[in-house]
Every structure is written in C-alpha cells, then in structure tokens.
Structure 1
C-alpha cells in the first residue's frame, strides 16, 4: 500500500468510524454469548435443584459440579472423563450421574440375570452382600447395580421428566441430544418393562 492509498484509508476510517463500529459489534456478540452461557447454566442448575429437593443425592457435589456432570454426559464423555472434569474418583462421577437419572446402555451390561436382580431389589430386603452371593459377583458390583436399578425406577416414575428438561435446555442452546434421547427411549425399554412388571406384581400382592 503506497502512502497516498494509506492516507485515503485513514481518512475513510476517521469519517466512517467503521473500524470502531466493528470492534463494538464484536464486544456485543461476546456479551450475548456470555449471557447465553449464563442462562444455560442457570437453567440446568434449576433442574438440579429441583431434583435435590425431591431425592437424596449420594455425593457431596454441589449444584455447579452436578451441572458439569450433565454437560459432560450430553457431550458424550465417559464416566472416567466425568471424573476428570470433577477432579473426583470415577465412583463419585457414576453416583452423581445416576442421582441425575442420566443412564447409559452400558449400565445394563452385567454378568447376571438383570430381571431377577431387579426383582430382588424391588420386592425383597436383600442386602448388597446377599445379592453379591446370590448372583456370584463382587459386593461392589451388587452395590453399583442396585443404584442403577433405583435410578431407572426413579426416572420411570416421573416419566424421565428431568432428563427431558436437561435435553430441552441443551437443545435450545444448540447441543444435539438425539443420541442420548434414543438411548433413553430404546436402550432402557427392557428395564422399564421389567420394573413396570415388578410394580404390577407388588400391587397385586397388596
């Protein structure tokens, strides 16, 4: 650019103020993005708070950390990745996920008859040690899968309402939740049918 052209450019900027307007527009866009992000976090936190009022959570994680679990889950993170996000152990991450009714197909990937296990959990007073002995697994596995069964049952009782609310917030923010919604509707269908059957049996016995 020669000296004359540069002078004309400077004159244009001085008269039009275009460069300054562009910077102002960029600042505005950044502020709107920050506002949207704040809104998403607040809305997710509101759902978490309602769940906390209704259920007894099994971790000491605060609402902000639980919102991080929701975000990570819907971003496709593994339980190990969720634990890293929380700077916690994986067991804590899994418990938090189940407290929030965030279920995976892999939760039912266990080396025993899941229907029989659910029946024992729902209808009997079996301890984790009893379940471990009966189904030939470690007690920690029995403890974990009891938590899965309880989360599945709790989610079913409210028609997966809280999961749907999480998904509504994130979808409006531009994040696809189609995959996880499909898991809820198809991958957990068998578990829902089992628990519905168990509830019906319990009602008949009463």
Structure 2
C-alpha cells in the first residue's frame, strides 16, 4: 500500500521533474514572412520567458530579404510588440535576441545551404548547440521540395557530431491527395518518418479552446480528468 501511495505521489503533476530540453538551433525558412512574425517568434519568446528554452539555443532565420543579424532582431522585436499580448520584457528579450541570427539567401540555391552549414557549425562552437537542428518550413509550399532536397544533398538531414535533425512542415501539405503524396515521398527521400513533423497550427483550434467548457459541462469526464 505504501509503495502504491509513493508511486501516486511521484506521478502527481506538481511533483514531476521538468524535462530539460536539448540544446539546439531552430532554422526558419521564410523568416521574413507573416507566420514567423505572428506565431513562431512570439511562441519562442514565451518559452524563453518561462525559462523553458535551454541556454544553448539559437534561432536562424533564412529568406531572400537582405538584412543583418541586428536588423532581423529589430524586426522581430517590433513583431512581438505588435502581435503578442502584454509587454515585452527587456531582460528576456536581450537574452533571447542574443541567440537570433539571420542568413539572406535563395532557398533554391546550394550556396545558401553551404552558408547555413558554416553558420550552424559556428553556433555549435560558440553557443554549444551540440549539432541539433530543427528546420521549420514556413516558406511558400512551392519551395518545400527544393528546400528538402538541398538539406538532404548538403548533409543537413543528419545532426552534426551525433546530434539530431528534425523537419517541420507547415500547412498546406499539398494541393490535393496526389500532390500531398508526392510531397510526402520527397520528404522521405531524405528524412526518416521519425524526423518529420507536419504542422497545421489551426487544426482543431476551436476544439482546443473549448476543452475547459467541454470538461465542466460533462460530468462523465470527472473521474477521468482528475488526478485524485
């Protein structure tokens, strides 16, 4: 009985040990676009504010627009102030922005990926990101195949020095069933299924927003959604 009680105590949410995230770099293709400004950077900033990002973390933005690292940071700071509710903490931003970098380039050109590879190696050395990379495709869907092919041919589909590599693909995933299957086949030429994350940030949004109403309006969930 005592052992059972001890196990229950360990499993209680308030006593669980927080998982320490791996070091790594998030590489955003289409970084000058609306999705990055409205969704991605505010989400990453909130994680930083909650201290849920590792110290050994960086963000690399890639797009065709010519910008310096500092100009990109200023652009993202303005986007945060415009699109995120609440004030932006100067202290949190200063810490977060220190890990933000920018690489101008065409997603179809191999030179872009050569420059990216050099920058990632530098970040491994300077920020301790340990060869872990997550590539976020927030660019035009027409560029997805070219980006994936260049990542694969450039050896970026595998983490550096034992690290991991992930691919995040935003919606729309193809125009129809046929094009979706073709895109899927292209992804799997260079990435294992375990490396691929297909994202629709509006899928089920209304349902998620109404979970609390669903929970308290239906007593049948009481014994299920209760830690006691």
Q: Given the two structures, how large is their TM-score scaled by the length of structure 1? A: 0.28
Bigger helix fraction: 1
Larger Rg computed on CA atoms: 1
Q: Given the two structures, how large is their TM-score scaled by the length of structure 2? A: 0.26
